[in-house]
Structure 1
Amino acid sequence: MTKDENADVDILVIFKSKDFQPQTYLNQIKSFAADNYPRSNIYPDHPTIAIELEHIKFEIVPAIFVSNEEVRIPAPRTKELKWILSNPSRIQAKLNQKDKDNKGFIKPAIRIIKYWNYLSGKPFTSFDIEKQLVNKIYDCRELKDYFHSASYSLTDIATTEQQKRFVESIKEKRRRLKILEAHNIPEYIEPELSSILPIK
């Protein structure tokens, strides 16, 4: 289970049975959630079932046991396969090391991108965002540079029109910010930043 500062909690539920397609397991999770949390907002958000409890959103992912290190999870809808292999422990270890190697800026950059991704209707899954950004090589100094470098790299995995619009919108925001910074117009910089970043 992982948690980020934007109140999203990802939970992996491992099923013993391996005989069904992803939708069957998603339906089971949804039924369980509806029975146990009848007052909560519960809805499918492929490849998860989302449960909103007060200010916390849980995203429950069904998984099938493969080995002590690997599980199968539902593939994104953009892929032809039904299942994909995942190694949660390895991904978390790589994320921790990448964050350490980059002055602690990787995790905040990922959280910001997930926040903007959420505001944009979640064109990318959290899994795809983390996987892409952990494997990227960075040459940055400040958090905003990490954010833009990381978000630009999503171009490599943007296959749907919604995903492409998401990446282009960030590029356009960055272009406008550069103009404002070049002309030293601080009264417009903060509103522009607040349209992307979770700042108050």
Structure 2
Amino acid sequence: MPTVAQSFEQFMQDLELREGENREAQRQERVVFDALRHHLSPRESILSGSYGRNTAIRPLHDIDLFLIFTTDSSGNGKVLQPQEFLERVAQALRKEFRGKQPRLQNRSVNIEFSGTGIGFDVVPAFEDLRQPGIYWIPDMRLGQWIRSNPRKHIAACDEANRKAMQRLKPLIKAIKRWNQLQGKPVPSFLLEVMAYEGIASFQPESHPSVYAQGMAHLFQFMSEHIRADWKDPAGLGPPVNAGVGEGHLQQGQQRLSGASRKAARALELERRVDMPGANELWRELLGTDYPVR
């Protein structure tokens, strides 16, 4: 029977993307970029979102593809309204990928590819001519363009991970797996942003698994703070939890509180050297990929 520390190490490794998944994601990114160049002439692309921050988990599904356009891409020298430009992106994808049905989302257009199971959330962006490195992206819910910078999001995640001695990203991936098994009651990016602050107050003990302690700490921190206003790590866009309904926040808080209680019981069993009992509780939280024997 493995220790909790051994089970977590194996579980964290199993969440990592495989080399083949990374190669295929990068290949398809070039395919989508080249396809859109025929119609809208994006000048640059950034693999952003969880993939860009290295917090994506396998199996890999949707990847955020941040496409930077010039103002001429609107066709009339002006930037269109958010929904209009998203519809233009969807139309271009439809022309290039026959049989596909691109789907408009709040800030992106989703297109899925059969065979690989990898899809892309294409996020169109215009660089602010007065502030290089700052980008305007569409928000249909708000009916306006909002500021963003995926490179600052990556930098914020990297810095929090560095301060946590490289433990934060594996913990984020594990909590994302838990969230996935729960039906995703908490938006993925909100989980990440809460983890950046939550990990700062983490002080591990000497005995239980550090990853187990980190999970328990983050579950508790998130359950207590999910209703707070969580600012965009780039300091540009609206709060990360803007637009998340009260019902979703309440459900997320309830699920996180339940996970926090179960994680605390697992830690107590580990302190009593009841590895089978502790591992079974973590398996209940993290699914059958968590090894118990």
Question: Under TM normalisation by the shorter chain, which class is it?
Answer: 0.7 to 0.9
Map of 1:65-144 to 2, 5 A cutoff? 65-66=127-128, 67-75=131-139, 77=141, 80=142, 82-117=144-179, 120-121=183-184, 124=187, 126=189, 128-134=190-196, 138-140=200-202, 141=204, 142-144=210-212
Q: 1:89 to 1:190 in 2, by over 3 A?
A: closer
CA distance in 2, matches of 1:136, 1:187: 24
RMSD: 3.2
Q: Is 2:256 aligned against 1:170? A: yes
Secondary structure of 2:104's match? strand
**Could you tell me whether the CA contact under 8 Å between 1:47 and 1:61 is conserved in 2?**
yes
Instruction: Identify unmatched segments of 5+ residues in structure 1.
Output: none
1:149-184: CA deviations, max 9, x gaps?
A: 564443324551223312321221221332355455
Q: Name the structure 2 match of 1:48.
A: 108
Matched residues in 2 for 1:136 and 1:186: separation? 23
Aligned mates of 1:163, 1:29 — CA distance in 2: 32
Offset at 1:117? 4.7
Q: Structure 2: give runs of 5+ residues left out of the alignment.
A: 1-46, 72-77, 205-209, 230-240
**Match 1:192 to one of 278, 284, 292:** 284
Distance 1:116 1:74 in 2: 30
- CA separation of 1:122/1:171 partners in 2, compared to 1, >3 Å: closer, same or farther? closer
Shift of 1:99: 0.8
Report which structure shows greater RCO (CA 8 Å, sep ≥6).
Answer: 2
- Number of aligned residue pairs: 196
Q: Between Structure 1 and Structure 2, which shows a larger proportion of strand residues?
A: 1
Identical pairs, percent: 19
- The answer as to whether partners of 2:266 and 2:279 remain within 8 angstroms in 1 is no
The code of the aligned residue for 2:228 comes to: D
Aligned equivalent of 2:39: none
Report the TM-score when normalising by structure 1.
0.76
Kept after mapping to 2: 8 A contact 1:50/1:57: yes
Tell which structure's C-alpha radius of gyration is larger. Answer: 2
What is the TM-score with the length of structure 2 in the denominator?
0.55
* 2:123 counterpart residue number: 61
Could you report, residue by residue, the CA deviation over 1:44-87 in whole angstroms, capped at 9, with x for unpaired residues?
A: 3322222222232322112121132100123484xx56232112
| Pairing 1:19–2:79 present | yes
Amino acid at match of 1:63: A
